[in-house]
Structure 1
Amino acid sequence: MKIYHNLSDFNKLTNAIVTIGTFDGVHFGHQKIIKQLVAKAKADGGESVILTFFPHPRMIIDPENQDLKMISTINEKAEILKTLGVDHLIITPFTRDFSNQLPEDYIRNILVNTIGTKHIIIGYDHRFGKDRLGDLTDLKAAGLHFGFTVEEIMEQDIHDVAVSSSKIRQALLAGDVSLASDYLGYPFSIFGRVIKGDKIGRTIGFPTANIFVEETYKLIPGDGIYAVTVTMNIKDEEAKSDLTDTPPASNAQSSTFKGMAYIGQRPTINGMTRNIEVNIFDFNQEIYGQDIRMNFLKFLRHDVKFTGLEALTVQLQQDKENTLSYFNSLASE
């Protein structure tokens, strides 16, 4: 898949099969549209093109609203779209000027003159252009003039999937990562860098890697303890994944480990900031500065304040047992 970070970088195609949207999370509903796009491009001997936007349009139109967080970062979105067989991904910088284009200018300048659209697949409620005045009627009329066809994803088809990015965000904020994963079709994940913490976990037998997520717009699940898998590159040839029987090569290879993650302000020690930490099972290497990915599989419990570190340690041991029981149940399925 070729990725373009500006429309000016894209070379006009002779037979572009196009869809447009933010596709946050690339959930089951999105995947239905994208698979239809890819299949149409193959059937027509064309090339599939997704036109998406960054930042999310709502972040520009309503900048005072800081509550909107994204299920996927722009890089995570691109990774998923690549697996679906998309040929071209255009990531258009969304600005006030871009949003103020008249619908007819948007169609002519972008869809026709820049991309070379011959067929467009779009949702029943798609709106575009200044004040969101453009709609399917405008697209179909323009198609007759410019020579492209319009395929509408019917409302019933969308509703049959019974999933939306809003539902997924609500599930994640409530800690229901299992439901979110069902909607997405894959585990929700966080990608970040391991940074130094205060090392309190080491003193009670539960060392944690503190995760810094650079993208401030990335949605973080609700506070609590989660069963997770952790994927990272391991350089030590002695280390190996506890989910596979194959040790990684000495020149660094991706390995996956079981673990339990914590999200919260650490009320037992009167913490002041919200932390993302993970205790990686059967792992004792220094990984400061390492980029890791955490897949959230199951919510275990809410964050609570304990009477002290001793009571916290007892609970963490129980959390670990519950996490291992969860993984054992997966293995027996």
Structure 2
Amino acid sequence: MKIYNHLSEFSKLENAVVTIGTFDGVHFGHQKIIKQLVEKAKQDGGESVILTFFPHPRMIIDPENQDLKMINTINEKAEILKALGVDHLIITPFTRDFSNQLPDDYISNTLVENIGTRHIIIGYDHRFGKDRSGNLSDLKAAGLHYGFTVEEIMEQDIHDVAVSSTKIREALLAGDVGLASDYLGYPFSIFGRVIKGDKIGRTIGFPTANIFVEETYKLIPGDGIYAVTVDMDPAFETDQELAPENHTTDSGIRTYQGMAYIGQRPTINGMTRNIEVNIFNFDQEIYGQDIKMNFLKFLRHDVKFTGLEALTVQLQKDKEATLKYFQSIL
């Protein structure tokens, strides 16, 4: 899949089969539409194109509202779309100038002149252009003029996409990563860099890697303890032998079992929200390393203990529960 960070980077195609959307989460509902797009492109001897926007339009149109968080970062989204077989991903910077285009200008400039659209798959409720005044009827009328066809996504499918996105966000904020994964079709993940912490975990036998997530718009699950797997890039050299329960994928990614913590560490009167992971059977220094955490099961909510001794006892129980979970899915 080729990725373009601006329409100006894209070379007009002879036969572009296009769909448009933010596709946050690229969940089951989105995947159904994207598979439809890819299949149509193959049938017509064309190339599949997804036009998406970054930042999310709502972040620009309503900048005072900081509540909107994304299930995927833009890079995570691209990785999933690539796996689905999309040929081209255009990431259009969403600005006020872009949103203020007249609908006819948007169609002629973006869809026709920049992309070379010959077929477009779009929802019945799709809106575009200044004040979101363009609609499906405008696209169909323009198609007769410019020579492209319009395929309408069924209303039920659009409803399922909207419902799924809402339910995924609600589930993640409640810590229900299992339900979120059911809707996504894959485990929810966080990608970030390992940074130095205060190393309290080491003193009680549970050393953790502290994760810094650069993208402030990324949705973080609710506070608590989770069973996770941790993926590390093969470029990271380690001579540590993998334990039997860990493995290396075909692409060389090393995957480890572990348990993650999200919260403010109330037992030690923490002031900031932390994302930490205790990686099982692993004792390497990985500061500066980018890792990916895949959230598989919620274990318990964050609570304040009477001290580090009580916390240590609970963490041992958490580890036992995590190992029991992994044994159950092997």
- Equivalenced residue count is 328
Matches of 2:82 and 2:324, distance apart in 1: 34
Matches of 2:216 and 2:166, distance apart in 1: 18
Q: Equivalent residue for 2:99? A: 99
Q: Equivalent residue for 1:310? A: 309
How far is 1:228 from its partner?
Answer: 0.2
Matches of 1:286 and 1:243, distance apart in 2: 20
Q: Equivalent residue for 1:319? A: 318
Matches of 2:232 and 2:323, distance apart in 1: 20
Change (3 A) 1:285 1:23: same
Amino acid at match of 2:37: L
Q: Equivalent residue for 2:81? A: 81
Change (3 A) 1:161 1:127: closer
How far is 1:253 from its partner?
Answer: 4.3
Q: Equivalent residue for 1:273? A: 272
Q: Equivalent residue for 1:209? A: 209
String of CA shifts for 1:73-99, please: whole Å, max 9, x gaps. Answer: 000000000000000000000000001
- Aligned residue runs from structure 1 range 64-79, under 5 A: 64-79=64-79
Contact 2:248–2:255 (8 Å) recurs in 1: no
Contact 2:119–2:148 (8 Å) recurs in 1: yes
- Aligned residue runs from structure 1 range 215-226, under 5 A: 215-226=215-226
> Which deviates further from its counterpart, 231-240 or 297-306?
231-240
User: Secondary structure of 1:216's partner?
Assistant: coil
Contact 2:204–2:312 (8 Å) recurs in 1: yes
Amino acid at match of 1:105: D
Matches of 1:154 and 1:61, distance apart in 2: 27
Q: Equivalent residue for 1:30? A: 30
How far is 1:165 from its partner?
Answer: 1.6
RMSD: 1.6
Matches of 2:117 and 2:245, distance apart in 1: 45
Amino acid at match of 1:26: V
Q: Spell out structure 1 runs of 4+ moving beyond 6 A.
A: none
Q: Equivalent residue for 1:141? A: 141
Q: Equivalent residue for 2:286? A: 287
Q: Does 1:17 align with 2:17?
A: yes
Q: Equivalent residue for 1:117? A: 117
Matches of 1:312 and 1:243, distance apart in 2: 26
How far is 1:246 from its partner?
Answer: 5.9
Matches of 2:111 and 2:26, distance apart in 1: 22
Change (3 A) 1:240 1:53: same
Amino acid at match of 2:197: G
Amino acid at match of 1:118: R
Q: Equivalent residue for 1:239? A: 241
Q: Does 1:193 align with 2:200?
A: no
- The TM-score with structure 1 as length reference comes to 0.95
How far is 1:258 from its partner?
Answer: 0.4
How far is 1:125 from its partner?
Answer: 1.2
Contact 1:241–1:255 (8 Å) recurs in 2: no
Contact 1:72–1:218 (8 Å) recurs in 2: yes
Q: Equivalent residue for 2:167? A: 167
Contact 2:41–2:47 (8 Å) recurs in 1: yes
Change (3 A) 1:256 1:242: farther
How far is 1:170 from its partner?
Answer: 1.0
How far is 1:236 from its partner?
Answer: 1.9
Matches of 2:283 and 2:73, distance apart in 1: 29
How far is 1:245 from its partner?
Answer: 5.7
Q: Equivalent residue for 1:300? A: 299
- The TM-score with structure 2 as length reference comes to 0.96
How far is 1:243 from its partner?
Answer: 3.7
Matches of 2:247 and 2:7, distance apart in 1: 46
String of CA shifts for 1:193-249, please: whole Å, max 9, x gaps. Answer: 00000000000000000000011110000000000000113412333264456699x
Matches of 1:223 and 1:195, distance apart in 2: 20
User: Percent identity over the alignment?
Assistant: 84
Structure 1 spans left out of the alignment, 5+ residues: none
Matches of 1:133 and 1:260, distance apart in 2: 48
